[in-house]
Amino acid sequence: MRRNAVLSVLTLLTIPAVSRAQAGAAAGCAADNAGLKLPPGFCAGIFADTLRGARHLVVAPNGDVILSLQGRGGGLMVLRDDNKSGHADVIKKYASGFTSSEVALFDGHLYTEQGPTNGQGEHPVAIVRYPYKPGDLAPSGPPDTIVSGLPGTPGHFTRNFVIASDGSMYVNVGSPTNSCQEKDRVSKAPGKNPCPELDTRAGIWKFDARKKGQTEQTGVHFAKGIRNAVGITISPLDNRLWATQHGRDQLGGQGGDWNFDDKYNSNNPAEELLQVNQGDDFGWPYCYYSVEAGKLVLAPEYGGDGKKVEQCAQKKEPVAVFPAHWAPNALMFYTGSAFPARYKNGAFIAFHGSWNRTGEPQAGFNVVFQPLNGEKPSGAYEIFASGFAPNLGNGRGAGVGGHRPTGLAQGPDGSLYVTDDAGGRIYKIVYTGK
């Protein structure tokens, strides 16, 4: 180790506790970490609050936070910390008139989805881009439509996407149903075989982020068998696509679906972290990941009993799995240097929390860190941030005063932003040393 590196380590070790507290206060951290429980050395503050429906976000090079909204009239907002207090003191509506669950910056443009303002009927979704330069608080021109006519409601209608450095844009098109049954969510209704949804939904499509006027039909059907990949990102190591899968519901309990009991339904299927290549098939609706079996097994709608594998042996397995029904809503690789080195290139996942763990306490409502060595786990997942939902029994509402982790973004200073669409809060998490 070089002398200056040694001196830096010794300096950090000898910083008095009061200095660390002062560093946290200067970064906008709250004395109680805004109610969050974090690993030693980390602290959190409230960057902004009461932005109900806050979904995903991106941080511009100048530090502006650009937020997508499904509440407050939808659209996009720009938030700026002008006085460097760790809190937004400038909050401006950037665009409105549509719901949005995604936002990205690429090649001098701000990209977002334009979704339905209500969930009734059939509403197609478009992906548009605005001309953008850091510091803009309003569009400097009308948006270009990059992709139009994407399937929207009914069902999972958010069209989360990520743009790779070469301009490849990968878009999640979630399923309209739980498990492609002949009658959706009806106890013991058989599954459609083959499932027609797989032609237009329950997968990822690839487009050119620089090209206007595309449709799903002109895009590339990149991967299938993914019920809903709300968390989607690009690996910083090799530019390959990664995603998370929202697992299915109703394997048992509440009416005795498929003869599985409440406990089995509460613990299955596992939520999944996926590495996605062109042509991959991850098995939905025919398969789900059984916690007990430790692999993909045949779904009961297609003759499964929790043990049969059959065609699922040919489907692609996940890289890592997590407890059932936690609902992974965001996926981010950490590339900064502000956090300890062990976090570098590992995955942070924001879990939205459960609503259907029959007979068991609701769970999730946290941010998890999954250590990775390339494309393999290098250890078990760790709860990085918890304490969002004090009233877990309330499920989706997260109870009075509750919050639900939704989006993740890394700031230019290496900090971690976490959004919450239940209370409308944006947390900023920083590392000040142990």
d(CA 156, CA 310) in angstroms, rounded, equals 28
- Kindly tell me if the per-residue pLDDT of 9 is higher than 60: no
Name which residue leads in pLDDT, 154 or 6. Answer: 154
Position 121 scores a pLDDT of 54
CA 434 and chain centroid, separation: 28
Average pLDDT over residues 96-111: 95
Indicate the average pLDDT of the chain. 90
**379-428: pLDDT as tens digits:** 999 999 999 976 555 545 444 458 999 999 999 999 999 999 999 999 99
Least confident piece of the model among 261-265, 292-296, 403-407: 261-265
pLDDT class of 13 with cuts at 50, 70, 90: very low
The answer to whether the bond into 194 is cis (omega within 30° of 0) is yes
pLDDT class of 11 with cuts at 50, 70, 90: very low
Position 10 scores a pLDDT of 34
pLDDT class of 6 with cuts at 50, 70, 90: very low
Position 361 scores a pLDDT of 85
pLDDT class of 157 with cuts at 50, 70, 90: confident
What value, to the nearest 5°, has the Cα angle with vertex 47 and ends 46 and 50? Answer: 75
**348-382: pLDDT as tens digits:** 999 999 988 887 888 999 999 999 999 999 999 99
Least confident piece of the model among 108-122, 136-150, 233-247, 405-419: 108-122
Name which residue leads in pLDDT, 287 or 258. Answer: 287
- Kindly tell me if the per-residue pLDDT of 153 is higher than 80: no
- Kindly tell me if the per-residue pLDDT of 117 is higher than 70: no
**72-91: pLDDT as tens digits:** 679 999 999 999 999 999 99
Position 63 scores a pLDDT of 97
* % of the chain surpassing 70 pLDDT: 89
